[in-house]
Amino acid sequence: MSEYQGKRYQDAVLKAQQDLNKPQAELTITVVDPGRRGLFGLGARPVKIEAVVKKVVEPATPTLSSSPEAVAPVQQEDPAEQTPQLIEEPVATEQPEGNPEGAPDGQLSPAEIAARHEQNLHRMSAAATKLADYLEQAYRALGVDVSATVQSSGAKDVTIELNAPTPGRVIGYHGRRINAFEVLSVAFLNYQGVKDAQVTLDSEGYRAKRAQTITRIGERAVTDVIASGQAVFLDPMPARERKLLHKQLEDNPNVKTYSQGREPFRSVVIAPK
């Protein structure tokens, strides 16, 4: 059978199945005339076949389980015979102290905030006492007899007075020694569990005198900037003194201030606007 005849044979089988409306029928196919293609369409003859149904294969249908429990109908209760279900009232539970009734989720209650603040105060008080002893030993190692007294302490700040027969040796040149001990004190408190603490070391009113000196330095720098039209770079200062200068000159209409450099050599720049 040629390729043409084979294709025509398959087409005839499909047509026979469709005519019988039994796509899954098993057929007996008899070729009556294989047909021919012809030459350029001349003498063409279609394939002739006869199809006889041998067997019809029906699709499988799902069967019900033979278990009585599976086929037993579900009995529905009569609405009139149904008994109402009692709804239990919610039992009031005691609210935890950290999140009382009325406090939004994720926020602490005023009582918890007060308790934590008290813990921070106690932690700072204990750490400040240890810091005072440490400063006395450190100055003594430098040959300076110092008596350290805690003047005030909060949750994150502490002020310690350093008394000595020679205050100049406690303060150092332009306050470099006492400023260095402040940086060391912050590291000491951090080791004691007090993070980001503000430490103020004072001796014989040095901090108040230094504030007056910073004010005069700022006034002279502003005069130089206005006269020359150029920026003035001041000597390195601790953060407390830089903030004092920024606060002093923030409302001046002629100059602006900013800080540059890295600690402990960070300084203030006063420039024309």
Of the candidates 190, 188, 197, 192, the residue with the CA atom closest to the CA atom of residue 239: 197
Would you state the pLDDT for residue 71? 44
Confidence tier at 72 by pLDDT (50, 70, 90): very low
Count of CB atoms situated within 10 Å of the CB of 160 = 22
Predicted pLDDT of residue 219: 95
Mean pLDDT of 241-249: 94
Q: Would you call 178 exposed, middle or buried from its count of C-beta atoms within 10 A (0-12, 13-18, 19+)?
A: buried
Please say if the pLDDT value at position 70 is more than 90: no
Cα 124 to Cα 103: distance, rounded to the nearest angstrom: 29
The per-residue pLDDT for range 183-206, each reduced to its tens digit, is: 999 999 999 999 989 999 999 999
DSSP letter (8 states) at residue 39: B
What would the mean pLDDT of 205-219 be, rounded to a whole number?
A: 94
| Residue 4 pLDDT class (50, 70, 90 cuts) | low
The pTM assigned to this predicted structure is 0.57
Q: Among positive and negative, which fits the CA dihedral 100, 101, 107, 109?
A: negative
CA torsion sign for 190, 196, 198, 201 is positive
Largest interatomic CA distance in the chain:
136
For residue 78, name the pLDDT band (cuts at 50, 70, 90).
Answer: low
| CA separation for the pair 170, 31 (Å, rounded) | 123
Residue ranges in the chain assigned as alpha helix (H): 3-20, 68-71, 110-141, 167-171, 176-191, 206-228, 239-249
